[in-house]
């Protein structure tokens, strides 16, 4: 049975003390609701800014069902790359996940599928779970090219991996037109794309790999619409942006399964 995940992407928000307060409230919720011991309940991953990683990872260490991830990593092991953070550095903090190819990295920083393939490779080398983001912009959706775009992103970014390597990857479908806009893909649109992604994984690898791959939805998922989105057969959780910054909203989303 594939893993259910509710992941919070804090983006460039929260001072260190604010992040620690949010983390403590989420951990308290997980403990009080025994989510760390109940079968079938989602795992929680907090994607924090780099300055939070060590503190939050130390705080959540040993708490089953709660993990920490970085929002980005660099393509190289080490060297004269001022301002960058390596996968090895992230691993050393106790973090277990890393976002690869978030739409904001693609659009604001020009990250290509080839760059993202390198980031995926180096993340896996350092035992980090890449959460690989894919999705179309509004013009591509309106031109009915959304399936073509997502298929290309997956083929170039991931489908060079062996079956064993691919089994360690989580995919997040994020329609770019729905990120931070308040507009959410309908449950039918989300299910349609998630089913499509699962099918092309099936065609590339096999039935077991496709059935075991966790595919998250990201794009204005919030406390009000999460349950309806997560009810879809092929939606295995969410990559949550703004709603992950408020403990009450984020915890409501966790309870949506």
Identify whether 102 is a catalytic site residue. Answer: yes
Please name the residues in contact with 8: beta carbons below 8 A apart, sequence gap of 6 or more.
26, 44, 45, 46, 47, 240, 244, 245, 250
3-state class of 51 per DSSP? helix
Q: Write the DSSP symbol of residue 159.
A: T
Q: Write the DSSP symbol of residue 169.
A: -
3-state class of 27 per DSSP? helix
Please name the residues in contact with 90: beta carbons below 8 A apart, sequence gap of 6 or more.
53, 70, 73, 98, 126, 128
**Cβ-contact 7, 216 below 8 angstroms:** yes
Answer left, alpha or beta for residue 66, where phi above 0 means left and psi between -120 and 50 means alpha: beta
Identify whether 174 is a catalytic site residue. Answer: yes
Supply 12's token pair: 């460039």
Answer left, alpha or beta for residue 64, where phi above 0 means left and psi between -120 and 50 means alpha: beta
Active-site residue, selected from the candidate residues 91, 111, 136, 174: 174
| Residue 102, φ and ψ in degrees, nearest 5 | -55, 145
Please name the residues in contact with 102: beta carbons below 8 A apart, sequence gap of 6 or more.
9, 71, 72, 133, 174
Q: Write the DSSP symbol of residue 149.
A: H
**For residues 75 and 116, what is the distance between their CA atoms, to the nearest angstrom?**
8
Active-site residue, selected from the candidate residues 102, 104, 136, 140: 102
Active site residues: 102, 174
């Amino acid at each position: 049975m594939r893993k259910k995940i509710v992941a919070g992407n804090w983006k460039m928000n929260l001072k260190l003390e604010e992040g620690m307060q949010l983390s403590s409230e989420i951990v308290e919720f997980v403990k009080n609701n025994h989510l760390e011991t109940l079968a079938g309940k989602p795992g929680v991953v907090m994607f924090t800014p780099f300055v939070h990683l060590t503190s939050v990872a130390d705080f959540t260490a040993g708490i089953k069902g709660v993990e920490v991830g970085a929002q980005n990593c660099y393509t190289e092991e080490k060297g004269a790359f001022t301002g960058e953070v390596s996968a090895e550095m992230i691993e050393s903090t106790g973090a277990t996940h890393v976002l690869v190819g978030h739409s904001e990295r693609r659009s604001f920083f020009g990250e290509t599928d080839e760059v993202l393939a390198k980031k995926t490779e180096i993340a896996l080398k350092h035992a980090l779970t890449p959460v690989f983001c894919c999705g179309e912009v509004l013009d591509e959706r309106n031109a009915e090219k959304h399936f073509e775009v997502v298929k290309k992103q997956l083929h170039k970014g991931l489908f060079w991996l062996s079956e064993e390597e691919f089994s360690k990857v989580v995919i997040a479908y994020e329609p770019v037109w729905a990120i931070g806009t308040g507009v959410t893909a309908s449950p039918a649109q989300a299910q349609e794309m998630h089913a499509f992604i699962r099918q092309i994984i099936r065609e590339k690898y096999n039935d077991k790999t496709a059935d075991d791959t966790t595919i998250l939805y990201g794009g204005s998922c919030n406390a009000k619409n999460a349950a309806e989105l997560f009810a879809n057969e092929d939606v295995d959780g969410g990559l949550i942006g703004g709603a992950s910054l408020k403990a009450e909203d984020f915890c409501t989303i966790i309870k949506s399964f």
